[in-house]
Structure 1
């Protein structure tokens, strides 16, 4: 009687092992599917943040370019106004302008000569 009982137990054990293998395979498939879904969600989140960062950087760069252009135009206008003022001052007092230029040249000459 011991013989048939051992064979039945072995058959049951084999069936249980086969069922366990199937369950482990299903568990592995489920875990792989979860990992894929989480990976895709993480990739989407990263991609979304990269796009948002790119948009912010482009907006900042455009703003800085506009500010730089405005500063350039302002400086250009001031330089033209200063040039016009200097030209008008020279026309009003040409001898004073020549003397001022000679004085500046003399000072630069003194500063640049070697000792």
Structure 2
């Protein structure tokens, strides 16, 4: 393969996910007990309504690594519930986003 072809293919491997995996890796310490590690329903942490968000937050409430989980979610620009906080692109959200187009805001007359 020529140098030109190698350079053309190298940009395929420079993805945000790979970069984040190196800058904010999940610690593999046997002393850390992740409450969600063996949870049978991973969709719990991607709520679609306020009841689902409350259930995920209740599950995270007693987790011993809650602060570490939230820190990882913020650093990785994650989506879903991390450390009991709903994140969207690494930004804390106050409520579950509604589906569809947002309502139009009328002009002040």
Q: TM-score, normalised by structure 1?
A: 0.21
Greater helix content: 1
> Which of the two has higher C-alpha Rg?
1
Structure with bigger RCO (C-alpha 8 Å, 6+ apart): 2
Q: TM-score, normalised by structure 2?
A: 0.21
